[in-house]
Amino acid sequence: MTKADDTIKAERNAKAAERMRKWRAANPQSPDQRAKAAEKSRKWRQVNKQRHQAYMRAWRDANREKVSFYQRARRQKARAAKNEARTD
């Protein structure tokens, strides 16, 4: 496969995912379906403990970067407000 084929395939997958998200928003799961999906994922996590732990570790690492970015921005904003209050 060429790079163009990979790009086309990725775009196609993205469009399909967007259609699915729109469809799911218009057709939410019933409580029974939600319970079945939760049970299925619970079983998967029990059977694949190491994969789940690795996935969660990676998710936390990525999320930690986002959280620290927003925390820094919030601190800078608070510092700026505090400095502005002092100068008034």
Predicted confidence at residue 1, as pLDDT, reads: 60
Q: What is the pLDDT of residue 51?
A: 96
Model pLDDT for residues 24-74, shown as the tens digit of each residue: 999 999 999 999 999 999 999 999 999 999 998 998 888 888 878 888 999
Instruction: Please report the pLDDT score of residue 88 as a whole number.
Output: 66
Q: Nearest-5° angle of CA 60, CA 73, CA 76?
A: 140
- Is residue 52 a contact partner of residue 45, using CB atoms and an 8 Å limit? yes
pLDDT at res. 47: 97
Contacts of 8 (CB under 8 A, 6+ apart): none
